[in-house]
Amino acid sequence: GLASTQVGRKEAVVVIDISDERNDPLILVNPEVVSGENKALGQEGCLSVPEYYADVERYTSVVVSALDRDGNPITIESDEFLAIVMQHEIDHLSGNLFIDYLSPLKQKMAMKKVK
């Protein structure tokens, strides 16, 4: 996935493609996690923090509201990998990285990878 803020844009847009062929992008404009259930730890990584992976607690099931690429309101309910990816990308829109959920020590380790 990719969030608009990762490429210097102020618009709140995320593009996610978890299809095997990488040819079925999901475009979410102004996405918002409306609700979430059942938190679990899962390993995450990000292009913003290259070559660093850590366990992050996320909802395993979410409801996300957004606009599609044509401006139509949509609601997505997911309890699969897509739920995790949507939360990760939506975090980017508010300036949060997955490392922000880590302990100060692990954050320090991650930042060493970036420098």
Find out whether 16 and 3 touch, Cβ atoms under 8 Å: no
Give the residue among 43, 27, 20 at the shortest CA–CA distance from 98: 43
Which residue of the set 51, 57, 77, 89 is catalytic?
A: 89
- Report DSSP state, residue 17: -
3-state secondary structure of 15: strand
Catalytic site includes residue 37: no
Q: Provide the annotated active-site residues.
A: 89
